[in-house]
């Protein structure tokens, strides 16, 4: 509880790695409370005297803001903010802050893992060993990454690091991102493209790193997936909904696409009856691309440092989503 007008209180909702707690403990003017039940109903009473809140997947909308009269900053333990109602925060000039590049390298590494695991037919070959069907190993040969072409969709914090790793793997890298200049893409060792449909028939791999937005929902649908090579691989570590799952299933089961790697799905946690789960040419992970031990520590530290920067009157603008509240 706060004990004076100058003290501030941070409400930690759900998980917070010790690295973040350690940053808080260095401040003798800040109190904190950990709310392990991260469901919205239990959140409201705790918001009454909170000056800041850290969020995992818990939604934070107008109702939550109404329950938090002293709120100064909302901090996400991550980079996504789909469940936060930004217009509501803007009305009260409250910044929404994310953890910036804290998990970018982790997602880029995971994208590389999925590219490799897909190309190397890892699920099938793992099964050959476990089920004593070793003799089948030469019936369907895996693929190299070196010398192959890849389209990286989105070259922001994560996509730029994925490009760097693909170049290091001796791949021919193309980038689709209207917000990045041709010069910057060329400097990274890649080629800028502007037409998705014209590019897809030419590449062996696609790695998705763009935000989920009206213009990117169903970007990979029956038409666009149908343009890809039948021996191509499609990887998504961005957001569910960018790839149409029905179209992907149809392509994977009809031989129109060789494999896929998915860290994200339309519904999370997913429907156990999801048809894709029955396919051996799909590699899954449970939306964990950016959640390694090291990334968790970096995100925790950054989330708390973001909050403290607001308390101290010097918001870390680079991590503020709604920068209009700073003016």
| Catalytic residue annotation | 239, 268, 287
CA distances to 91, 100, 288, 316 from 297, in Å: 32, 13, 14, 18
85 CB-side CA count, 13 A: 12
179 CB neighbour count, 10 Å cutoff: 9
2 CB contacts (<8 Å, ≥6 apart)?
8, 9, 31, 49, 51
d(CA 23, CA 55): 17
Paired strand residues for 8: 30
Q: Tell me the Cα Rg of the chain.
A: 22
- Tokens 């590494």 — which residue? 109
- Tokens 């666009």 — which residue? 224
Paired strand residues for 74: 53, 96
Quick check: helix, strand or coil at residue 275? helix
Quick check: helix, strand or coil at residue 201? helix
137 CB contacts (<8 Å, ≥6 apart)?
125, 128
CA neighbor of 50 nearest in space, from 31, 63, 24: 31
Paired strand residues for 176: 153, 193
323 CB neighbour count, 10 Å cutoff: 12
Helix (H) or strand (E) holding 142: none
d(CA 133, CA 301): 48
Total residues found in the chain within this entry: 327
Quick check: helix, strand or coil at residue 12? strand
């Amino acid at each position: 509880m706060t004990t004076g007008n100058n003290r501030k209180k941070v409400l930690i909702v759900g998980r917070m790695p010790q690295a973040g707690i350690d940053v808080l403990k260095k401040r003798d003017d800040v109190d904190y409370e950990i709310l392990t039940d991260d469901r919205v109903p239990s959140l409201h009473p705790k918001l009454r005297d909170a000056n800041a809140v850290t969020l995992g997947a818990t939604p934070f909308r107008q109702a939550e803001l109404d329950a938090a009269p002293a709120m100064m900053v909302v901090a996400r333990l991550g980079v996504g903010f789909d469940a936060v109602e930004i217009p509501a925060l803007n009305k009260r000039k409250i910044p929404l802050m994310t953890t910036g590049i804290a998990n970018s390298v982790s997602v880029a590494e995971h994208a590389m893992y999925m590219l490799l695991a897909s190309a190397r037919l890892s699920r099938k070959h793992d099964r050959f060993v476990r089920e004593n069907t070793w003799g089948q190993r030469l019936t369907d040969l895996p693929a190299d990454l070196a010398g192959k072409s890849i389209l990286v969709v989105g070259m922001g914090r994560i996509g730029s690091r994925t490009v760097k790793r693909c170049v290091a793997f001796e791949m021919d890298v193309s980038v689709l991102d209207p917000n990045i200049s041709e010069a910057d893409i060329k400097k990274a060792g890649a080629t800028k493209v502007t037409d998705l449909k014209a590019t897809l028939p030419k590449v062996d791999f696609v790695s998705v790193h763009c935000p989920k937005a009206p213009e990117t929902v169903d970007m990979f649908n029956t038409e666009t997936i149908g343009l890809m090579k039948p021996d191509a691989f499609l990887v998504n570590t961005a957001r569910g909904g960018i790839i149409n799952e029905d179209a992907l299933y149809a392509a994977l089961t009809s031989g129109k696409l060789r494999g896929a790697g998915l860290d994200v799905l339309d519904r999370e946690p997913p429907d156990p009856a999801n048809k894709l789960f029955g396919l051996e040419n799909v590699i899954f992970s449970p939306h964990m691309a950016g959640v390694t031990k090291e990334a968790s520590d970096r995100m925790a530290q950054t989330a708390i440092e973001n909050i403290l920067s607001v308390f101290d009157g010097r918001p870390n603008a680079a991590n503020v989503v709604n920068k209009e509240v700073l003016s």
